[in-house]
Structure 1
Amino acid sequence: MRSKLILVAICLFSLATTAQTKVGTIDSELIIGLMPETKKVLSLIESYGKRLDSSYQIKFKDYEAKVTDFRQKQKDYPENLKSLKLQELAKAEQELQQSRSNGNKLIQIKRDEVMRPLYTKLKKVIADICKAEGYAQILTISGNEFAYIDEKFDITQKVMDKLGIKIPEQKN
């Protein structure tokens, strides 16, 4: 009987301690979209994209010229030269597609680079508010990711220690 009472008391105590943790949410994308710095950042990304696009357009016009030239002269080409020209056009088309893919990746990298300071600023403000108001965790509304987690609730290091995993040192 006594052990049952102790067990019930422990359960009630653990419920009381977990009930005291505050969890909140934030729409970080809305805030980022409304930050005054965002307009400047989006302008930088747009101008970078235009520069990449102008480079792509030059390559595209060169490709179109090759295709037009081939269509006009293909009747005069012997079969082996026609085959060679078709291979060259296929290679040029593949390079054009690769150029477009690389451009998209470069724009994404640039976007991440110029948006990082905004997210860093937002993260600092979130952490300040959480510490001041006693929040343990903050979830973002878009993506259901954690925007803030009180480190005392993070068991990552304990799990890593138990598994014998070390965090590699970061090289600067």
Structure 2
Amino acid sequence: MFKKLVIVLLCAMPLSVFAQYKFGTINTQEVFALMPEKATAEKTLQDLAKKYEDEFVKMREEFNKKYKEFMAQDSLPENIKARRMQEVQELQQRIQNFQEVAQGDIEKQQQQLFAPIEKKLTDAIKSVGTEQKFTYIFDLASPMPVILYHGAPSEDVTAAVKTKLGLK
């Protein structure tokens, strides 16, 4: 519905209206991938994930050991078996809780690490747009970039944003 409305409006407007607009495009994924801060943030996340993985392996080994001990002891009284079974179940629950906490912490760290990088990129795009007097800059990395006009070619500002950020 929105697409049809835009097409109707575009057809109804005189082409001279578009002469006052300057359109640009950028591939934010390309620029974001080149930013050195991204690599640093990813390294920090990998290190954090490795620490959680190491701890998870230790917990899993402890669980496997207790489970094998539990399965190997047939001659114990029922109340001791029940207590050991409860220990195994509690350890399994701790492992599940640990995984949830670890995943949540990694996601939180990812948001905290990438937010300033994304802001820096957004600020650079806004700066290029202001300096070069663009009316609109569209992100080509979006699943469905908005295309308002097909007749006039847009200008790709990816290189200008890379320059603004000191990237090659």
The interval holding the TM-score normalised by the smaller chain is 0.5 to 0.7
Bigger CA radius of gyration: 1
Higher RCO (CA 8 Å, separation ≥ 6 residues)? 2
Q: In 2 relative to 1, CA 141–78 (structure 1 residues): closer, same or farther, beyond 3 Å? A: farther
CA distance in 2 between partners of 1:57 and 1:101 (Å): 15
Could you tell me which residue of structure 2 aligns to residue 124 of structure 1? 123
Give ranges in structure 1 of 5+ residues lacking alignment: 1-10, 147-172
Aligned residue runs from structure 1 range 6-155, under 5 A: 17=17, 20-73=20-73, 75-144=74-143
Q: In 2 relative to 1, CA 19–102 (structure 1 residues): closer, same or farther, beyond 3 Å? A: farther
Q: Secondary structure at the match of 1:57?
A: helix
Question: TM-score, normalising length from structure 1?
Answer: 0.63
2:103 corresponds to which letter in structure 1? N
Q: In 2 relative to 1, CA 134–57 (structure 1 residues): closer, same or farther, beyond 3 Å? A: same
Q: In 2 relative to 1, CA 27–94 (structure 1 residues): closer, same or farther, beyond 3 Å? A: farther
Q: In 2 relative to 1, CA 18–79 (structure 1 residues): closer, same or farther, beyond 3 Å? A: farther
CA distance in 1 between partners of 2:80 and 2:16 (Å): 83
Q: In 2 relative to 1, CA 121–57 (structure 1 residues): closer, same or farther, beyond 3 Å? A: same
Q: In 2 relative to 1, CA 88–32 (structure 1 residues): closer, same or farther, beyond 3 Å? A: same
1:110 corresponds to which letter in structure 2? Q
Question: TM-score, normalising length from structure 2?
Answer: 0.64
Contact 1:139 1:145 in 2 (8 A): no
Report the alpha carbon displacement of residue 89 of structure 1 after superposing the two structures with TM.
2.2
Contact 1:22 1:137 in 2 (8 A): yes
Contact 1:21 1:136 in 2 (8 A): yes
CA distance in 1 between partners of 2:16 and 2:50 (Å): 57
Once superposed, what is the RMSD of the aligned Cα atoms?
Answer: 2.9
Give ranges in structure 2 of 5+ residues lacking alignment: 1-10, 146-168
Q: Secondary structure at the match of 1:76?
A: coil
Report the alpha carbon displacement of residue 125 of structure 1 after superposing the two structures with TM.
0.7
Greater displacement, 120-129 / 48-57 = 48-57
Contact 1:23 1:137 in 2 (8 A): yes
